[in-house]
Chain A
């Protein structure tokens, strides 16, 4: 396992070019092309903003400007959920590579996660635009924590992606299960509503059990809410947990590796 993990470093070039290919191929043949990376989150955002500003208007929850607030949670969530959805099918759709070419299988889910990370980073540009438009700026002192949150999310997502992709080879139903589970997970995480709500706090223990809760709260505290970054210890604990999860996920993937070429 350790040897394979070290070998992964050698596949940097491969991963890099596959991510580039993924991004290039995705929008090849569409009129707006790469612009879709911006349009997709914008459209999603406008729907949610419309619903929660005009249809179900929130009273004063401290979430103004709402679009900036929601974007802080929606961007990481989109990265997370589309990574998992793509990664879970990645070994099956890349079956040709696994069966016919000597190819490190873990590269496939990793590429799914990284390609979606690029979309996430592009989305940050839009977020910045909204911040300027609404003159709502984050606390510069907290901003130093932002890359840490991104790295923790990356490790956590990679770990889940590895586990899901390996298991999906054996249980194809995971893919369908997953898309439903993700919808559930989305609403169970304070993305479209603030975690400061009283009703959230009364179920706090339940929310604490949700790993993505800590990521979203960290993002929101750093990027949206003023004041000190109070969730930092949760974030660091989450980072340590993700690291351990990644190692065990990789171990599982490594154990199942030999079965891929036969079952896919």
Chain B
């Protein structure tokens, strides 16, 4: 197997323009600093020492966060920019779907643009002529082909750009997140075209945020993060690692915002705020996050625990979750109720309960104590949720009320809608069949 694309230790450094760069030719001439200022002053590595090889006929999916260097890698392979160090080798004719219809001139007709765009992409006039009908049919623009391109809708524009680029019949096809342009039907057509390319043993490099596409479609995946290679190989495995990392990142974000919210709340002095039990829905939508109460009993720490007992902010739908409250009673009390409430991002009250509602009769509470609320299965759909926790008297007078101070995120593979996911499964009689997902 020969390599169609080979990157060896490729580094691409972009210049970051600082304020000290000359603003005019005059000042550059006066200060005789043209040559010095044309040297990069502050630099920013978009790619750092990335190596990878794509054998002929393989499809490589490149994934990573925004700004991870995916598009830079693609431009390097396309030859649009040159690496600062390292080598890029590509065998065969390249067609890059980076920006569709980049060379179109709005004033002239679709027909003329097809010719010029085709020639720009490396075809001869005769080759374009041969493929002309195929291009027009693929773009579904038969009726508009003689109208100026400026009259096209953006969808038509993209379709035409895609159709021309794909009909260049490259050996290596570079695709940068362009499938999002068309409607459902056109996207399918593009995917069919890619599949046809794969059958014909062409090499494809696909940069996308659609992990599903990479998993279904690519032979290999490459994960870039801040210009460095974080993973490479089997798409399922790489995507798994990537997802875990994204969750870890989100977790970090949530815990900092959590800590910040708590800090803000602690800075406001304890005072008696609105009186009400956790289940009092009337006030719920009015009150924003905060903390109040007499302080007779304090909630000193709140932790969200995952199935493995570790503290986390990311849960998967259907997993176990535990809320742990550390409380401290300044003096022993005999009238106390623990409660919690869950809100979704829109502020809808998802669930609320307390020990009083669930008919625990308070005995005594003194000193430090741990309270766990264990949820066996967190049957919520994907989304961000906020948490209330409280200790108050039976009549509702709060000792310590934490309102919406804690955030957690529920992740799900199934993109169902609503708030609550009842445990369920489907059953069908034999006369109902389903096809496998493509």
Question: Hey, which chain A residues are within 8 Å of B108, CB to CB?
Answer: 21, 24-25, 28
B145 within 8 A of A: no
Question: Which residue from A18, A101, A262 sits with its C-beta under 8 Å from B98?
Answer: A101
Q: Could you tell me if A170 and B38 are in contact, using CB atoms closer than 8 angstroms?
A: yes
B397 within 8 A of A: no
Q: Could you tell me if A171 and B25 are in contact, using CB atoms closer than 8 angstroms?
A: yes
Q: Could you tell me if A28 and B15 are in contact, using CB atoms closer than 8 angstroms?
A: no
Q: Contact string, B1-36, partner A, CB cutoff 8 A, digits 1/0?
A: 000000000000011000000001110100000000
Question: Which residue from B15, B82, B107, B119 sits with its C-beta under 8 Å from A25?
Answer: B107
Q: Could you tell me if A28 and B96 are in contact, using CB atoms closer than 8 angstroms?
A: no
CA of A100 to CA of B38 in the docked complex: distance in angstroms? 23
Question: Hey, which chain B residues are within 8 Å of A25, CB to CB?
Answer: 105, 107-108
Question: Hey, which chain B residues are within 8 Å of A174, CB to CB?
Answer: 25
CA of A173 to CA of B38 in the docked complex: distance in angstroms? 16
CA of A226 to CA of B291 in the docked complex: distance in angstroms? 101
CA of A98 to CA of B26 in the docked complex: distance in angstroms? 27
Q: Contact string, B76-92, partner A, CB cutoff 8 A, digits 1/0?
A: 00111110000000000
Nearest-CB distance from A14 to chain B (Å)? 5
CA of A17 to CA of B103 in the docked complex: distance in angstroms? 13
Q: Could you tell me if B25 and A97 are in contact, using CB atoms closer than 8 angstroms?
A: no
Q: Contact string, A3-22, partner B, CB cutoff 8 A, digits 1/0?
A: 00000000001100110010
Q: Contact string, A21-34, partner B, CB cutoff 8 A, digits 1/0?
A: 10011001100000
Residue of A nearest to B102 (CB): A100
From 200 to 242 in chain A, residues with beta carbon under 8 angstroms from any chain B beta carbon are none
Question: Hey, which chain A residues are within 8 Å of B78, CB to CB?
Answer: 102
Question: Hey, which chain A residues are within 8 Å of B79, CB to CB?
Answer: 102
Q: Could you tell me if A21 and B81 are in contact, using CB atoms closer than 8 angstroms?
A: no
Question: Which residue from B25, B80, B102 sits with its C-beta under 8 Å from A177?
Answer: B25
Q: Contact string, A157-170, partner B, CB cutoff 8 A, digits 1/0?
A: 00000000000001
Q: Could you tell me if A173 and B80 are in contact, using CB atoms closer than 8 angstroms?
A: no
B115 within 8 A of A: yes
Question: Hey, which chain A residues are within 8 Å of B38, CB to CB?
Answer: 170
Question: Which residue from B82, B102, B112 sits with its C-beta under 8 Å from A21?
Answer: B112
Which of B120-128, B341-349, B384-392 interfaces with chain A?
Answer: B120-128
Give the secondary structure class of B's interface: mixed
CA of A24 to CA of B115 in the docked complex: distance in angstroms? 14
Give the size category of B's interface with A.
Answer: 20 to 34
Q: Could you tell me if A173 and B125 are in contact, using CB atoms closer than 8 angstroms?
A: no
CA of A25 to CA of B148 in the docked complex: distance in angstroms? 10
CA of A97 to CA of B25 in the docked complex: distance in angstroms? 26
Question: Hey, which chain A residues are within 8 Å of B25, CB to CB?
Answer: 171, 173-174, 177
CA of A193 to CA of B96 in the docked complex: distance in angstroms? 54
Q: Could you tell me if A14 and B120 are in contact, using CB atoms closer than 8 angstroms?
A: yes
A103 within 8 A of B: yes
Question: Hey, which chain B residues are within 8 Å of A99, CB to CB?
Answer: 80, 99
Q: Given A18-B116, A21-B116, A28-B107 in contact, is the A262-B121 Cβ separation under 8 Å?
A: no
Nearest-CB distance from A259 to chain B (Å)? 8
Question: Which residue from B24, B28, B98, B115 sits with its C-beta under 8 Å from A17?
Answer: B115
B94 within 8 A of A: yes
Q: Could you tell me if A100 and B98 are in contact, using CB atoms closer than 8 angstroms?
A: yes
Q: Given A171-B24, A262-B15 in contact, is the A100-B148 Cβ separation under 8 Å?
A: no
B75 within 8 A of A: yes
CA of A229 to CA of B148 in the docked complex: distance in angstroms? 49
A60 within 8 A of B: no
From 18 to 58 in chain B, residues with beta carbon under 8 angstroms from any chain A beta carbon are 24-26, 28, 38
Question: Which residue from B14, B94, B119, B148 sits with its C-beta under 8 Å from A102?
Answer: B94
CA of A57 to CA of B55 in the docked complex: distance in angstroms? 78
CA of A73 to CA of B94 in the docked complex: distance in angstroms? 47
Question: Which residue from A29, A96, A101, A258 sits with its C-beta under 8 Å from B107?
Answer: A29
Besides A100-B98, A102-B80, 16 other CB < 8 A contacts?
A13-B125, A14-B119, A21-B105, A28-B108, A96-B102, A97-B120, A99-B99, A100-B96, A100-B99, A101-B80, A101-B98, A101-B103, A101-B120, A102-B78, A103-B103, A261-B80
Interface residue ranges, A against B (CB under 8 Å): 13-14, 17-18, 21, 24-25, 28-29, 96-103, 170-171, 173-174, 177, 258, 261-262
Going nearest first, the 10 A-B pairs with the smallest beta carbon separation are A100-B99, A100-B102, A171-B25, A25-B107, A28-B107, A100-B98, A96-B102, A261-B81, A258-B82, A173-B25
Q: List 7 A-B contacts (CB under 8 A).
A: A14-B119, A21-B116, A100-B96, A101-B80, A101-B121, A103-B120, A261-B81
